């Protein structure tokens, strides 16, 4: 095992515990939302789309690591936790009816979750030695794309499937702006924590995987 791989084994136990708990909580909340739509507060909000898409997203990294990186890199617990939290927080926010009772909660979720996803992507794809400019560039490339994809998914799930009025999403540009701000904040925070050796995770060995795929 290389030194880089060994360093990734030092993930704090609390991160691992939170990751597993968030995944279990996500599945439980989605089950409640599908079985009891009124209790989950997802009636007319693309509950089925979430029930399919969120587990796929939350378990994508475990599947990818098992298929491609197991034995070459330790499990990226922190990045996996960040990805899972974006799904869990959205479903939990609906379960607690925060989207309908707190006017700014949706804006907060766009700011935080887009930034959290971008942070996970940076951790998975950039080495700790990457500069601030490179970190921001990578975070923006992924984060803004993810924000646009989310807005498209909302349109399909809410407007086409649930029949919501187009006026309900007149704030799309605002959501994209908040997401972009969240990405910038996340990039700066991740870079600063890496510079201080607080985040010691190394990225997945993408080059080795791509090279093997072309042999």
Instruction: Kindly tell me if the per-residue pLDDT of 168 is higher than 70.
Output: no
Q: What pLDDT band is residue 92 in, cutting at 50, 70 and 90?
A: very high
What is the tens place of the pLDDT at every residue in 15-64? Answer: 999 999 999 999 999 999 899 888 878 877 778 888 999 999 999 999 99
Tell me the Ramachandran region of residue 36: left when phi exceeds 0, alpha when psi lies from -120 to 50, beta otherwise. Answer: beta
Q: Give domain limits for the chain.
A: 3-207
Count other C-beta atoms under 10 Å from residue 184's C-beta.
16
Contact of 198 with 131, CB cutoff 8 Å: no
Supply the angle between the helices 105-125 and 77-95 in degrees, to the nearest 10: 170
Instruction: Kindly tell me if the per-residue pLDDT of 111 is higher than 90.
Output: yes
């Amino acid at each position: 095992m290389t030194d880089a791989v060994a360093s990734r084994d030092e993930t704090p136990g609390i991160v691992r515990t939170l990751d597993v708990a968030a995944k279990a909580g996500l599945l439980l909340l989605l089950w409640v939302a599908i079985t009891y739509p009124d209790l989950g507060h997802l009636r007319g909000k693309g509950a089925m789309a979430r029930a399919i898409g969120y587990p796929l997203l939350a378990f994508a990294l475990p599947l990818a690591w098992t298929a491609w990186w197991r034995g070459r890199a330790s499990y990226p617990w922190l990045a996996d936790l960040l990805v899972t939290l974006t799904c869990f927080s959205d479903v939990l926010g609906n379960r607690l009816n925060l989207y309908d009772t707190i006017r700014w909660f949706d804006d907060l979720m766009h700011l935080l979750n887009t930034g959290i996803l971008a942070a996970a992507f940076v951790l998975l794809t950039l080495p700790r030695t990457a500069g601030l400019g490179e970190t921001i560039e990578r975070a923006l490339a992924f984060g803004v794309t993810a924000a646009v994809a989310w807005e498209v998914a909302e349109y399909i799930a809410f407007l086409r499937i649930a029949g919501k009025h187009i006026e309900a999403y007149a704030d799309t540009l605002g959501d994209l702006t908040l997401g972009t701000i969240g990405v910038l904040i996340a990039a700066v925070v991740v870079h600063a924590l890496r510079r201080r050796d607080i985040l010691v995770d190394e990225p997945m060995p993408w080059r080795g995987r791509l090279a093997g795929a072309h042999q």
